[in-house]
Structure 1
Amino acid sequence: MGTVALMMASCNLDLVPESTMTDAAYWKSENDLRGACNRFYEQLNGNNALGGGFAHDYRSDELNNNGAANSTSDGSWTIPSTSGTWTDAYWRIFIANNILEKSAQADVTESVLNRYQAEARFFRAYYYFELVKKYGDVPLMLKAVNNTKDPSLEMPRTPREEVMKQVYEDLEFAATWLPDIDASEITSNWGHVAKQAATAMIVRAGLYEGTFGKYHNLPNCDYKAHLKKSIDAAESLMNSRKFDLYPDFEQLFQVVAEGRQNKENIFVKVYGPNGSAASTTHGNSRQMENAASLTRNIVDLFLYTDGLPREKSPLKVSPETSYDDIFTDRDPRLGMTIYKVGEEAYKGAFIPFAFRYGYNLKKGFDLVQWGTNSKEYTDKMIIRYGEILISYAEALYEYNGSISDDQLDKTVNALRARAGMPAKLTNAFAQANGLNILEEIHRERTIEFVDENKRYDDIIRWKIAEKVLPVDIIGAKYTSEANKDKEDLQNRLTSNGGMLNNKQRYEEDDMYVLEFAENRKFDPAKDYLYPVPLQEITLSGNNVTQNPGWK
């Protein structure tokens, strides 16, 4: 676990004093413990991952950065010397361990001590889960090392099943001792973790590990045990009656839906204070204008209002002669996710191909905050109740091999109804139309959570990345509404590395091909896990080994 050794050797620990002071004047009071734990929220990233700021995730087939290839998505990535996905996680785990050890010195009651240790254990679990998702087996460090010669810094990788056992133990402790989401301590410090956030993390972790274990045939993994943890945790949240879906899907991602008044919020990253002078900000809307667009690969997953997919529905418009033909008789969430021609967008009425070559994102865009030039302050939902519902449906089906219509109504159909989608998913409907219930649950998760940083993790755990990544990535369709000369546009697209196709790569004419399949690859023998950074192997004395297939 060489990361901590390197950080300690630098003699410049990037921590606020509350987390590192060892003198007798500190670690004495509840206020000291509270101050130490506040560091977690400064470091927390609103995009559910590691790194700074709020970012759109280009690692899957969901989004494209204006034709630019993503090394993970196109299979061109290599072993890095260092990586923040490893070092940032371990640095934050070190902070949690430091708090867990030193907090015991404080002159507080056992319940107060447990409350702050629960906060530290929540974040330790949060970041260990991030590591397991990316790397699989990782060194399980449960103490704060303050000596660069400590032999534990050279420990080998711990089996992921053992790491996940610790993740659950930490989250269960947190769910016991953290304040309730409606406690004054949380309402007055909105964004701090409540016990329900810990329970929700068990839902997420259990579903991920259960399905990953099943589809990747992990040895020594009782995948059903993981799924059962997810199911039980989801039922606990659903039965608590503390949460509900926000009534307006489009407004869910705006300032109006912030705070506990929105019962869909479970765990959020707070930005702000609200206003142009906000001190904690992100650049979500600017990135939507300048980079991120939805691929046709994902647009085609949206159902028609008859509940049928593109390949089955008679409502499909073909051939498409207008840019907006894709919205005809479609799940309303499509029109809430991407722009129609003429809608007020980034710099006036939306015109296709004016900004991006894919489908321009609308979900979560805020023109007022766009005007702050990357100083946006809308809070970001890290866990929302909609995720609990769809995760529950998936875990139930994976565990039982079936799901009842009543359970579908409480999960999949509740999400559809919130958005105004008229068709319901039932077992009889699926059977009559040759639909696979599990695939429809997957579809529902994908379209509900567009641009919420779920898709890459999902295609990894479902083991379908090898099918959906090494393919043509399709963008938007050229029509007269583009208001650009077709030949001139073709020349510009060609210079950008793409092309307008003539049915050789898609069933419709004049679709922009963002990335060519022949330039993309995914090696299932190695690419389902990240490569371990070379520095971590070296600093561990080669006790930390490389993931299979990476050389």
Structure 2
Amino acid sequence: MKTNNTYIKFAAFAAVLLFNSCNDQYLERYPLSELAPENYFRTASELQTYTNAFYSDLPDALAIHYNNPNQGDDEARNTLAAEFQGTRTTPSSGGGWSWTVLRKINFYLANSHKCADEGARLQYDGVARFFRAYFYFDKIQRFGDVPLYETVNELDDPAMFKARDSRKIVFAKVIEDLDYAIANCRDTKSAQLITKWTALAYKSRICLFEGTFRKYHGLGDWEAILEEGVKAADELMKSNTYSIYKSDEKRAYHELFIAEDAIASEMILSRQYSAAVPYVHSANFYILSASYGRPGMVKQLVNSYLMKDGTRFTDKPNFEKIGFYEETQNRDPRLSQTIRTPGYKRIGATTTSVPDFATSVTGYQYIKYILAPAFDAGQSTNDMPIIRYAEVLLNYAEAKAELGNLTQADIDRSIKLLRDRVGMPNLLLSAANSAPDPYLLASYPHVTKSGQTGAILEIRRERRIELVKEGLRYQDLLRWKEGAKLAQPFYGMYFSGAGEYDLDQDGKLDLVIYQGTAPTKKPGVQYQKLGELVLENGSNGGRIVNLPDIDKKWIESKDYYYPIPTQELQLNNKLEQNEGWDKSGT
């Protein structure tokens, strides 16, 4: 049952409706006298009501578990995002170049001093400044350099037509806002509200991004930023406010993502859903329907999961030609808690289910976020993760490794906790660095070659597995300068060719891959025609090939940023377009 927090339903709905009744872009009109700045912002409740509206800008379920390109190279579908095809063009307007949210935040900060309750003002100013940091960091990730506005400017103000400020200047202001939020937001733990802990966790995230982006893109000044991220994560870790959720190693990881209420011991910030509001999402429908891309994990990611004893699956001879049943045995338990593997039963079911090729293009079918069949029509109510404590631990370990000062003690208080949850052996620093994984080395050609190369690679493995389908992979590839991975083929399960397959080895036929005329169909058996199901070597078998007739393309010189819309360039001649993009829309 959902908690009793009415606000926590991300229902700042009253506030959203109230403020949307104003001029959406500039808040120049105040049709309700209560909103006029001379009459509003007088009480703690008014500050809360206004800042509640900012929560609607946090990612929703679609952005977290579904939207491309957020899943990066972890997931194949029967459609491709423009980012994967190199078909993005410069839009005339929109394209993420919107300042409406910033205007509202700055409007609040310009007026909150009217509240005589200093404690409330400091708290809600902290929330507002968290969201301003959140707003600007999104812009940095998308565009690089952007104009910095800290006050409310009118349309005819010359400051509205300024050049872009350096990302380094803007990022410094982002950190300044986050530090204010850390100092002034409430320190009571909440999975739905912005707190001191949320701000610390988010600071660890963005410092890792910005530090590694600058490092791998040759922008300089990265070490101090990674150190700031380490300090933020360390402060949160030492507070003992959060912990890694544990129950049974065979189900603890999966339980995090099907919980009706976010598991507060680990979820630092989540998007809350409830049938009572109603405010629901469609994870079951999008993942299990044949109508929305038929998402499936790619084989490259399946390969990355270690064996249960900590050895590497990719050290096995001919590992790319191992069939589904064998490749899923004795693996890191997170694999069977993320996709359907032999023996899988849906919640509430008494019988097992094999992967459904009608709804998964690779055969590796997700179970993360999937509730009972009663929710299949698009009424899911499980809360969705935005920031987890597990990510903070990963941020800490990766930043230390990139700085070159990661120790075994650091691993023991970070990576080990994630592996303990699922009964996996600990990562040993000396072993990782003395013999870096060749498969991972080939996967990440830009990784820093140093005395801690092996550790960096293993932490990337751990991050990919732990945070899969949580909307962070695309940004990871950008900061590591590995965008070209999006242009590589996405593969699925291996099959030796046409034939009959018992996928879970329970003695019952599950799948027939056939050539020519379809055989007489038997109940409970899936049929796939060779050629419609494309194997890399045709009738000689191989891995499933996702979208073999569509070219994927990544242009290193331009695709790490998005273009500024042409309309904005025309309105403000001081703006300069990002490299590789121009004003003509190409």
* TM-score between the two structures when normalised by the length of structure 2: 0.80
TM superposition shift of 1:458: 0.5
Aligned residues: CA RMSD = 3.0
Contact 1:285–1:369 under 8 Å retained in 2: no
TM superposition shift of 1:320: 2.7
Alignment of 1:319-338 (within 5 A): 319-321=321-323, 323-338=324-339
Question: Partner amino acid for 2:185?
Answer: L
TM superposition shift of 1:354: 3.0
Contact 1:337–1:361 under 8 Å retained in 2: yes
Q: Secondary structure at the match of 1:484?
A: strand
- Paired position in structure 2 for 1:427: 429
Alpha-carbon separation, structure 1, partners of 2:26 and 2:342: 48
Contact 2:514–2:530 under 8 Å retained in 1: no
Contact 2:26–2:100 under 8 Å retained in 1: no
- Paired position in structure 2 for 1:515: 547
Alpha-carbon separation, structure 2, partners of 1:493 and 1:45: 39
Q: Secondary structure at the match of 1:85?
A: coil
Alpha-carbon separation, structure 1, partners of 2:574 and 2:421: 51
TM-aligned CA distance change 1:458 to 1:547, over 3 Å: same
Alpha-carbon separation, structure 1, partners of 2:489 and 2:330: 26
Deviations 1:81-107 (A, max 9, x none): 2335332xx22221111110121222x
* TM-score between the two structures when normalised by the length of structure 1: 0.85
State the number of aligned residues.
511
Alpha-carbon separation, structure 2, partners of 1:57 and 1:142: 32
Deviations 1:131-188 (A, max 9, x none): 111110011111123x321222212111000110010000000011100134xxx5xx
- Paired position in structure 2 for 1:233: 232
Alpha-carbon separation, structure 1, partners of 2:270 and 2:33: 23
Contact 2:299–2:492 under 8 Å retained in 1: yes
Alpha-carbon separation, structure 2, partners of 1:531 and 1:181: 40
Alignment counterpart, residue 486 of structure 1, candidates 514, 522, 526: 514
Alpha-carbon separation, structure 2, partners of 1:69 and 1:57: 8
- Paired position in structure 1 for 2:196: 195
Q: After superposing the two structures, state which structure 1 stretch, 380-389 or 342-351, moved more.
A: 342-351
- Paired position in structure 1 for 2:158: 151
- Paired position in structure 1 for 2:580: 549
- Paired position in structure 2 for 1:268: 270
Q: Secondary structure at the match of 1:383?
A: strand
Q: Secondary structure at the match of 2:296?
A: strand
- Paired position in structure 2 for 1:165: 172
Alignment of 1:106-505 (within 5 A): 106=115, 108-145=116-153, 147-182=154-189, 191-218=192-219, 221-247=220-246, 248-256=252-260, 258-259=262-263, 262-272=264-274, 275=275, 277-290=276-289, 291=293, 292-313=295-316, 319-321=321-323, 323-341=324-342, 343-345=344-346, 349-358=353-362, 359-368=364-373, 370-371=375-376, 373-399=377-403, 401-421=404-424, 423-431=425-433, 433-435=435-437, 436-466=454-484, 468-478=485-495, 480-481=501-502, 482-487=510-515, 494=531, 499-502=534-537
TM-aligned CA distance change 1:309 to 1:19, over 3 Å: farther
TM-aligned CA distance change 1:24 to 1:522, over 3 Å: same
Q: After superposing the two structures, state which structure 1 stretch, 192-201 or 39-48, moved more.
A: 39-48
Contact 2:260–2:381 under 8 Å retained in 1: no
Contact 2:313–2:319 under 8 Å retained in 1: no
Contact 2:261–2:382 under 8 Å retained in 1: no
TM-aligned CA distance change 1:293 to 1:58, over 3 Å: farther
Contact 2:361–2:546 under 8 Å retained in 1: yes
Q: Secondary structure at the match of 1:311?
A: helix
Q: After superposing the two structures, state which structure 1 stretch, 334-343 or 358-367, moved more.
A: 334-343
Q: Secondary structure at the match of 1:548?
A: coil
Q: Secondary structure at the match of 1:443?
A: helix
Alpha-carbon separation, structure 1, partners of 2:370 and 2:80: 24
Identify the structure with the greater helix proportion: 1
Question: Partner amino acid for 1:244?
Answer: S
TM superposition shift of 1:517: 9.1
Structure 2, gaps ≥5 residues long = 1-18, 247-251, 438-453, 503-509, 519-525
TM-aligned CA distance change 1:34 to 1:153, over 3 Å: same
Alpha-carbon separation, structure 2, partners of 1:444 and 1:470: 23
TM superposition shift of 1:55: 3.2
Alignment of 1:8-157 (within 5 A): 11-13=23-25, 21-22=35-36, 24-46=38-60, 55-59=66-70, 60-65=72-77, 67-83=78-94, 85-87=96-98, 90-106=99-115, 108-145=116-153, 147-157=154-164
Alpha-carbon separation, structure 1, partners of 2:110 and 2:530: 57
Contact 1:79–1:531 under 8 Å retained in 2: yes
Structure 1, gaps ≥5 residues long = 1-6
TM superposition shift of 1:57: 3.4
Contact 2:143–2:562 under 8 Å retained in 1: yes
Contact 2:337–2:368 under 8 Å retained in 1: yes
TM superposition shift of 1:405: 1.5
Contact 1:46–1:268 under 8 Å retained in 2: no
TM superposition shift of 1:293: 1.6
Contact 1:266–1:384 under 8 Å retained in 2: yes
Deviations 1:188-216 (A, max 9, x none): xx511011111111101111110000000
Percent identity, please.
29
